[in-house]
Amino acid sequence: MHGFRVIQNRQVRRGANALLLIGALVLAAGCGKTSAGDPAAGGAPQAMPVQVNIAQAENIPETTEYLSVLKSRHSANINPQVEGYITKIFVKSGDRVSAGTPLIQIDPLKQLAAVSSQEAARAAQEANVRYAQIQLERARKLYAAGVVPKQEVDNAQTTYDAAVAQLKALSDQVNQQQAELRYYRVTAPMDGIVGDIPVRVGERVAVTTLLTTVDEPGGPLEAYIYVPADRARNLKLGLTVHLADDAGNKVADTRITFLSPEVDPETQTVLAKALLENPRGLRVAQQVRAQVVWSTHEGTVIPILAVTRISGQFFAFLAVNDGKSTVARQKLLKVGDTIGNDYVVLEGIKPGDHIIVSGLQFLQDGAPVTEQVQQQPQHVTRD
């Protein structure tokens, strides 16, 4: 019995040793296959597919941006021509009015009293004129009868002429006071839409008080651009102006139509105006960004997303054929202003270079790549 157990243990050990040998052979075979057949172990790295833009010569504009205010060519600020208290407001903001429509009434009682006083003075003077005329006619008859000397007639004539002149002066004053009386009712100077009305009934206003505005809807606007005097020597009529909103979105293209002949002594700027015939979505007094295009020159641009910034310097990857294969080469750039989604390239890229625009985070200098050229126009003019 003991001998049978010994034989059985020997057989188990032999089977285990056989299994270990088979496993070692399989492992050795597998390792040998990997080292012999895996291209990643000893072969060249695979080329990475990338998209490229071919740099082209373009007309690059030289621009300067200024803050501009839009003003209407058919907009009126309504100020009173007289002082007084507001007694009635006939309209509200947003009302459409025609020329001559009453807008605001200013208390006219004081002016009415002045008109009545002047009219009374004129009536009294009319009586003086009639009396002076009677005296003149009497003097003429007496002189004709030889009763009075010629001097009496001359004196009567002088008195009559002075009375007539005084009557004319009083009549002019009455007309003036009556004309001023009409100013106490403020009316619309043209057809348009009433703007904000910042005054209230009972408020005292002066000739400098802004009562409201009347704007012609959809009318032409002018962009008021204030250019520093040291740059004004380059201003000329017809220069292109791009108008954009606060987010940089272009809202209109126009040209300079007016240049002030004088420099503002306080701001040391020169006023330039650019006309917008059919503004869309723009409002009076709106502030916009005005880019004045001074000139254009030939150059190249590069998409902003194709540029990386390292330690304050700008780099891009170019796809370069070294004669054997195409590889990515990192290029130091000198860039200028941005135009839309592109940088203006001052140094580092020339027309015909292949600019890599995708997969930049996976690229290294000298890495093999395969190009996929994006479709581009043959020549682009940016103005």
Residue 341 belongs to a domain with what CATH number?
2.40.420.20
262 backbone dihedrals φ, ψ, rounded to 5°: -120, 155
At which of 194, 229, 254 does a domain end?
Answer: 194
Same domain, 230 and 255: yes
CATH number at residue 284: 2.40.30.170
In the numeric block, which tokens belong to residue 256? Answer: 């300079």
- Alpha-carbon distance of 29 to 165, in angstroms, equals 135
First to last CA, the chain: 107
**Same domain assignment for residues 254 and 239:** yes
Does 27 fall in a domain? no
Distance of CA 201 to the CA centre of its chain: 36
Domain check: are 128 and 171 in the same one? yes
Residue 229 placed within a domain = yes
Q: What is the pLDDT of residues 305-324, one digit of tens each?
A: 999 999 999 999 999 988 88
In a domain? residue 307: yes
Question: What's the rounded Cα separation, in Å, for the pair 194 and 211?
Answer: 10
Assess whether 117 and 148 both reside in one domain.
Answer: yes
Inside any domain, residue 2: no
Q: For residue 336, what are the domain limits?
A: 48-59+297-373
Q: Tell me what pLDDT residue 60 has.
A: 86
Residues 180 and 250 in one domain: no
The reply to whether 331 falls in a domain is yes
Based on the domain organization, do 146 and 180 belong to the same domain? yes
Low-confidence ranges of the chain (pLDDT < 50): 1-13, 15-42, 378-381, 383
Structural domain ending residue among the three candidates 160, 194, 228: 194
| Residue of 51, 63, 59 whose CA lies nearest to 300 | 59
Report the pLDDT value the prediction gives residue 151, as an integer from 0 to 100. Answer: 93
Q: Is residue 15 part of a domain?
A: no
Neighbouring C-beta atoms of residue 283, cutoff 10 Å: 10
C-alpha separations of 94 from 100, 194, 336 in Å: 17, 5, 47
Tell me how crowded residue 30 is: count the other CB atoms within 10 A of its CB. 10
Residues found in the chain: 383
Of 261, 286, 268, the closest CA to residue 276 belongs to 286
Assess contact for 47 and 325: CB atoms under 8 A.
yes
How far apart are alpha carbons 109 and 123 in whole angstroms?
Answer: 21
Same domain, 345 and 333: yes
Residue 366 lies in a domain: yes
- In 3D, which of 238, 215, 220 has the Cα closest to residue 278? 220
pLDDT tens-digit profile of 196-229?
Answer: 999 999 999 999 999 999 988 777 889 999 999 9
Instruction: Report the pLDDT value the prediction gives residue 233, as an integer from 0 to 100.
Output: 87
Handedness of CA 354, 357, 358, 363 (dihedral sign): positive
Q: Is 183:78 a contact under the CB 8 Å cutoff?
A: no
Question: From residue 155, how far is each of 43, 148, 182, 356 by CA, in Å?
Answer: 133, 12, 41, 108
CA dist 226 and 68 (Å) reads: 7
181 & 270 share domain: no
Nearest to 275 by CA among 350, 225, 235: 225
Q: How many CA atoms lie within 13 A of 135 on its CB side?
A: 17
The model carries a pTM of: 0.55
Of 296, 318, 351, at which residue does a domain stop?
296
Report pLDDT for 51: 92
Give the alpha-carbon dihedral of 28, 29, 30, 36, to 10 degrees: 110
Q: Is residue 383 part of a domain?
A: no
Do 310 and 288 belong together in one domain?
Answer: no
Nearest to 56 by CA among 378, 292, 272, 295: 378
Give the residue among 239, 261, 243 at the shortest CA–CA distance from 252: 243
The whole-number pLDDT of residue 215 equals 84
- What's the total number of domains in the chain? 3
